[in-house]
Amino acid sequence: KGPVISKCVFIDKGKMQSNGGRQTLCRAGSSLLRAALAPSSPAATSAAVRAYTSTSPLNERIVVAVGGNALQRRGERLTIENSLKAAADMAPTIAKLARDHELVLTHGNGPQVGELALERSAATFDVLGAESMGQIGYVLAQALSSVGCTTAPIICQVVVDPNDDAFRDPTKFVGPIYGAKEATALSQSLGWAMKPDGEYFRRVVPSPPPGEILQVSAIRTLLEQAPGVLPIACGGGGIPVSRIPSNPTTLTGVEAVIDKDRCGAKLANELDADGFIVLTDGGGIWQNFGKPDAREMKAATPEYLEGTKAGKNFPGSMGPKIQAAIDFVNGGKEGAWAAIGDLNDAAKIFGNDEGTLIKHDIGGDGHEGVIWRESRATFDSKPKQSKEPHKSG
């Protein structure tokens, strides 16, 4: 059987030109899982011609989180010019997804906010976060505009608890990598907290969990009233603020960086999204990454990931991505799914041909809560390399 289309709203074609000519907004339950476990049905994709293979319904509401590293090519300096080039490479992939789905894009800001902190060491991280959000929003908007995708970057404030334990043990990596001597010097001269990131060191700052997303109603209104516009929201996890206890309507900035994946998951839940995708530069979730017996998860349940403590060895990189996926699926509607995969494989993630799908019911051979890509373990001895420490264990 093909997917059941519960409701279709036909829109005047002239009003949809900025959305790649899409003329229907169809909401239905997710069939992504069936793509992971069975051959795709021609009926499932007959509603439209896509630029990629997928059996998920058209116009599923999906939040896509892209890492800040996506705007920095390997070996290149972090400049606006280089960021624009990297964004131009990424834009066609995002635009293809936006044409077929009700998309919200969020992004990281680790490299960018760290560079800004070097330039303006006296500035607080709430201000730096706002600056990086505007900077990256502009870069993404310009790149996506060049491929016919209209965007609306939104400056988002996110309420956090200033007494959270995260302020006692900073874990969020920001900025470039340093050698041991450089890290020690910066720690002594600027008072920065530094921690190992692979064989190098990076600055770490507190990363409290996101609480209230203050602009979520504006994002929801944009999705409902302007379906041809792609919202770019909660960049860098949003601007961290807290409420003054004596006057809760008054906000004050907080010296922290909220993890963009955890904020993206919360945003997806609040928008009642069908799916949440975390795009990395290193593929899905691996076991024994970099070793001869390395293998990638094709699909896993939140219970399995929690039980095996996947990603806990990497609290500053992969750990939050996995936890964000778990949080979304556990807090989402029935059938909610999440996926983690490489940015270059974004389209293939929809058919579960790449990356890792996270869902309560993975069916098939997933009676133990996980389905492995056995062929990867047999034939691919060199998994995709990432700029960040990898992966689950």
- Note whether 341 and 354 are within 8 A (CB): yes
**Per annotation, catalytic residue among 67, 109, 172, 391:** 172
**Per annotation, catalytic residue among 59, 69, 109, 269:** 69
- Residue 172 known to be catalytic: yes
Q: How many CB atoms lie within 10 A of CB 223?
A: 18
- Residue 29 known to be catalytic: no
Among 339, 341, 345, 285, which residue's Cα sits nearest to residue 62? 339
**Per annotation, catalytic residue among 96, 266, 298, 321:** 321
Two tokens, residue 180: 């041991």
- Residue 69 known to be catalytic: yes
Q: How many CB atoms lie within 10 A of CB 383?
A: 20
Residue 256, C-beta contacts closer than 8 angstroms, at least 6 positions apart: 125, 126, 160, 166, 167, 172, 205, 206, 207, 208, 240
Distances (CA, A) of 181 to 186, 194, 201, 388: 9, 11, 10, 21
User: How far apart are the C-alpha atoms of 257 and 102, rounded to whole Å?
Assistant: 27
- Residue 321 known to be catalytic: yes
Residue 148: exposure state from Cβ atoms within 10 A (0-12, 13-18, ≥19): middle
- Residue 298 known to be catalytic: no
- Give the gyration radius of the chain's Cα atoms: 20
Active site residues: 68-69, 172, 260, 321
